[in-house]
A and B are shown apart, each in its own frame.
Chain A
Amino acid sequence: MKEETNSRFLRIVPREKAFYFFTSVGNYTGESAASMKEFLEKISGVNVKSLEFHLYRGDFEKWITEVLEDRRLAEEIGRLQKANLSGETLRSQLYSAVQKRQRLLTSGFTSVY
């Protein structure tokens, strides 16, 4: 049961449910992520303005909750939103949070909702 849940969080979602990175309203960077693994990769390379834009709109939290269905990671992202981070500090913290969660899920040892 736990492994099934973990793999659900780590699955690749259809293109129409992927996360599309924007730097501001209507300005799409051309980067998208269709899984937690890809999301982590994109966090490290996308324009940091995009991370700031989406974090403070609550877009990451919403996508992780509604599409990846990983409420625990969504809560962690929500905490980062409240920390009022920006720039490379934000990138680093966000990357770290997602990477930690991904490692936990891939290891098979985790508490899940």
Chain B
Amino acid sequence: MKDGGAALKFKNNSLALDATDLKILAMLQEDARQTYTAIGKSLGIAHSTVYDRIKKMMEFGVIRKYTIVVDAEKAGVESIVALMTVFTDPKESESVAARLSKAPEVLEVYTSISEELLILAKVVAENQESLHRFIADSVAPLPGVLRIRTSIVTKKFKEAQFSLVPNSKKG
């Protein structure tokens, strides 16, 4: 790579990201409303190049969507967040994870293996009672659920998106 950045190769498709792609992504992660012209100017490349590369990254699913990050507290929305650990029968783990993923109350779902197979999920609810009702009525009865541990978040110290170029700034 002429500007020193290593290309990232993805296992399941042929798209390889070069340093320019990564810089474009970093800039979009910083502010997705930037124009192609502004990004191009900042990186010293033509806006049409920026357009082509973003289009390609969208086609390959590297850029999944453009969205906004809402601060629920500032928006006046009463809510609590909880981190739920669901211990499951290994045979049912996939289906439990799939069912959880469909619930609007569940924001993120992961499977993990420690001593037992378990599912980790981030859940949002209006209050403790609605959180409990959701878990009691919609999670505990799922076939294969062995037990559940839930921690209600009391204070958030950090929440960030994964960055492909952790320490990079524009340019």
Contact = CB atoms under 8 A, between A and B. Distances in A.
Given A16-B141, A20-B136, A26 B147 contact: no
A32 B131 CA distance: 19
Interface residues of A, number: 12
Residue of A15, A25, A29 most packed against chain B (CB within 10 A): A25
A18 interface: yes
Contacts of B84: 26
A27 B131 CA distance: 11
Given A15-B141, A18-B141, A25 B132 contact: yes
Contacts of B132: 22, 25-26
Contacts of A26: 82, 84, 131-132, 135, 148-150, 152
A32 B140 contact: yes
B140 A25 contact: no
Contacts of B135: 22, 26, 28
A45 interface: no
B127 to A, nearest CB: 10
B121 to A, nearest CB: 11
Given A20-B136, A20-B140, A20-B141, A25 B149 contact: no
Given A16-B141, A28-B145, A28-B147, 15 more contacts: A20-B141, A22-B135, A25-B128, A25-B132, A26-B131, A26-B135, A26-B148, A26-B149, A26-B150, A27-B148, A27-B149, A28-B136, A28-B140, A29-B147, A32-B140
Interface of B: 82, 84, 87, 128, 131-132, 135-137, 139-141, 143, 145-150, 152
Interface of A: 15-16, 18, 20, 22, 25-30, 32
